[in-house]
Every structure is written in C-alpha cells, then in structure tokens.
Structure 1
Amino acid sequence: MNVLFLCTGNACRSQMAEGFARHLASERVVVQSAGIEVHGQNERAVVAMDELGIDITPQASTQLTDAMLDEADLVVTVCGHADEQCPLLPPQTRKLHWPLEDPARATGTDDEIMAEFRRIRDEIRERVTELMELVSHGE
C-alpha cells in the first residue's frame, strides 16, 4: 500500500502526517508526502513532532509529480487548496480529504503559535492512527 499525503507547500501538515504514518505503519505501507508547491519544512512543525519523539528532519519538502500519483494507492489531501488543486487521479487510486487548518497561519505570541501547531499535530496524529489501523487491516 502506497499512501501519499498532499498539501499546498509540503511544509507542515503533510510533513507531520508523513512522520506519524512512518512511525505507525507496518513494513507493507510506503508513505510519502508532497506539495502542490514546495515551501521547505516548517521549523515549528519539526519542534512539535520532536516533542513526541518523532524526527521529521530527514523528510524533504517535495513537489508533487505524476509518478507519485501513479504509484499512490491512497492520496490524502490535508488542506482545501491541495484538495481543489489535486490533479486527476488514476482510477484505482482512492482519495481522502482532511480539512485541517494551517498552523503556519497562526498569529499571536510564540507560545500561542506553538499551541496551534500542537493542536493540529494532535488532530493529525488521531487521523493517521485511525488510517494506519484501517490500512493494516486491508481496508
């Protein structure tokens, strides 16, 4: 099973989803993330994941390619822009949409912004955990 997490810039939400999926998935699951554009990794996303012992620094902010779409069994869009801009998928590829808010747009103090990153991180963790349970059972 090849799972692809897709967002606008592959900087926060899709990077966190990839990190959780890699951490939770069985060896039968290939996990990638990509963006419609490339914005580089968001340092706050790296910190939020590191707080849970998951290092996403080896992951690269990657632009979506046709090959990624062709290889994907499941594409999970994690923002509205990626959902709207997602190219036509091959007929055998399933698609899920998770309308997650962008923590990079949070405003306020550093503590308030990090609280938003943690909130989104925790929502992503819940969704990825459920998804990996379904995938491991062949659903």
Structure 2
Amino acid sequence: MTDRIFNVLFLCTGNSARSILAESILNKDGEGRFRAFSAGSQPKGAVNPFALKVLKSFDYPSEGFRSKGWEEFVGPDAPVMDFVFTVCDNAAGETCPVWPDQPMTAHWGIEDPAAVDGPDIQKEASFVAAFRYMKNRISAFTSLPVARLRGQRVARV
C-alpha cells in the first residue's frame, strides 16, 4: 500500500496572516504526510509582510504565498480536502462552501496578529505569538495516529 498524503485547507477571512502561517508550518512539519493549502472568505489580495518575515525568521517557507479565495478549492479541478480548519472566529461563523467528500472540519481560534495596531515591534511580536500557537496546534495534529485514517473515510465532526 502506498502512503497517502492528506490534504488540509486552512481558512481565514483575509488569507493574509494566520492561514498563511498554518500552510507554511504544516507543509514543513507534516513531513510529506500532509499537503497544506490556505484560503479566505474575503481575501485581502496580499500576504501580510509580517507573516512572511516571521516565517523566514523561524526557517519556514516564506515564498510563493498569495491571498486567495476559498472558491478555488470547491471546483471540479480542486484537490479533495481531507481536513478543513478555520483559524479565525469570523471564518468559523461564516457559511462555508460545501466541500466535496465532506472532509473533517474543526475550528482553531487564534487571535488575529494583523489586527494589532502599534509600533512594528509590537506587530511582529503578535505574529510570533500567532506562529507559536499555530505551531503547537499543528504539532498536536501531526502527532495523531494518522495511520489509522489510511484507507478509511474521514468523518465530519
């Protein structure tokens, strides 16, 4: 049996900060077991530069990201998602698209570092905190006994 790679979509409203952090972290830490994507319900159109700076400072991929809408992941040519995580409270409360094959869903509420108003050092610190929270969540997720899911239909929770 070949190893299956699980597709994971991280959703936020703007797809400029938390969901970008999550995509980068899981793609690196998922050790080829997961393929991460990110999107937003109302994409900002650009990735927050502090998100990219923090990813780079922790030696995580920081290139090639773009702010995009979740409609890219519901069409017939879109990858089928196994997991969909909302990472902000706004996206969790919005009506999400119907995902093909009903992936497992969950909400990971993490404060929006892009909402911090203040000097750059304070903004960067909020992105570092969001990065650490996200890394901890992803570490717990990747520690789950994923082998038990191989070949089984993932149920929606």
TM-score (norm: length of structure 1) = 0.89
Residues 10 and 22, structure 2, Cα contact 8 Å, conserved in 1 = yes
Residues 7 and 79, structure 2, Cα contact 8 Å, conserved in 1 = no
Summarize deviations over 1:49-97 as a string: whole Å, max 9, x none: 1110112221221210223887111100000111111234456311110
Structure-1 residue corresponding to 2:55: 49
Given the superposition, is the C-alpha separation of residues 138 and 61 from structure 1 closer, same or farther in structure 2, using an over 3 Å criterion? Answer: farther
- Cα offset, 1:132, TM superposition: 1.8
Which segment is superposed worse, 6-15 or 92-101? 92-101
**15, 23, 29: which one pairs with 2:20?**
15
Count of matched residue positions in the alignment of Structure 1 and Structure 2: 139
Structure-2 residue corresponding to 1:2: 7
Structure-2 residue corresponding to 1:61: 67
Identity %: 30
Note the residue ranges of structure 1 that are not aligned, 5 or more in a row. none
**106, 116, 120: which one pairs with 2:126?**
116
Which segment is superposed worse, 7-16 or 69-78? 69-78
Given the superposition, is the C-alpha separation of residues 12 and 135 from structure 1 closer, same or farther in structure 2, using an over 3 Å criterion? Answer: farther
RMSD, aligned α-carbons: 2.0
- Matched residue of 1:83: which SS? helix
- Give 1:70-89 correspondences, 5 Å limit: 71-85=80-94, 86-89=96-99
